[in-house]
Amino acid sequence: MIKRAAQVKLIDEQGRRVDGRLPDEMRPLRIEVGKLKSADGSAYVELGSNKVIAAVYGPREVVPRHEVIPDRALLRCRYAMLPFSVAERKSPQPTRREIEISKVVREALVPAVFLEEYPRTAIDVYINVLEADGGTRTASIIAAATALADAGIAMRDLVAAVAIGKIGNLLVVDINGVEDQYGDGDMPIAMMPRYGEITLIQADGVFTKEEVKRALELASKHIDEIHRLQIKALKETYAKIEEGE
């Protein structure tokens, strides 16, 4: 049976969400750096039930050669959801959705990378979603930006992201799968926090001008906190290397 939004109670009498969170509360976020020894850089991100791993290879030779850009690096991103990552098995073939997410994740990262430092090379970012529960593109951006930094790629800033949702007239932070499915809007936002620069904004659903303004303020606050966790995860890794672990 197809459930309609009205049949799924997304906010209870206490103002709590389906997973007990308050509107302005993110799911727990865990970032681990350098999990993959064979990659030049990697990061594993858990955002609630989402589990995402990003691996970076490069700067390296561009194959096929005709894709070489003479004055900067070619940044390529591939986002893939593993067949067992969602309730209904997903075919391993890239879907339109995965192709779209690969494109927007790449566009969210490009402004942060000094591509001109690496002419005639390729930097490849492979993102795999092991488990999905709404917000995989934002978790992917967090993982990919951290993995790029772990690979030692020169960057203006890390990129952090969060999706703001809409339930009725209420804006909520970091929507999960159920809220994404039955809610009234989804606005993933990515930023370079040091510059306050937006590198991705998408919207599914109808948001008023006032709601967009509030969504950006809300996202910015949480993005600052995510940015802090990215830096902490990177620092912890390098502290371990110094200690000889």
Residues that bind ligand CDP (CB under 6 A): 86-87, 90, 97, 132-137, 177, 180, 186
* Centroid of chain to Cα 49: 14
Q: How far apart are CA 95 and CA 83, in angstroms?
A: 12
Shortest spacing between CB 135 and ligand CDP, in angstroms: 5
Q: Which is nearer to ligand CDP, 58 or 177 (CB)?
A: 177
Q: Which is nearer to ligand CDP, 137 or 166 (CB)?
A: 137
Q: H or E element: which one contains 57? A: strand 50-61
Shortest spacing between CB 35 and ligand CDP, in angstroms: 21
What token pair was written down for 145?
Answer: 């930006």
Shortest spacing between CB 65 and ligand CDP, in angstroms: 34
Shortest spacing between CB 237 and ligand CDP, in angstroms: 26
Q: How far apart are CA 51 and CA 33, in angstroms?
A: 14
Q: Which is nearer to ligand CDP, 136 or 230 (CB)?
A: 136
What token pair was written down for 190?
Answer: 């990515």
Q: Which is nearer to ligand CDP, 133 or 211 (CB)?
A: 133
Residue with tokens 């020894």: 37
Q: How far apart are CA 86 and CA 93, in angstroms?
A: 15
Instruction: Name the nearest CA neighbour of 86 among 50, 61, 113, 127.
Output: 50
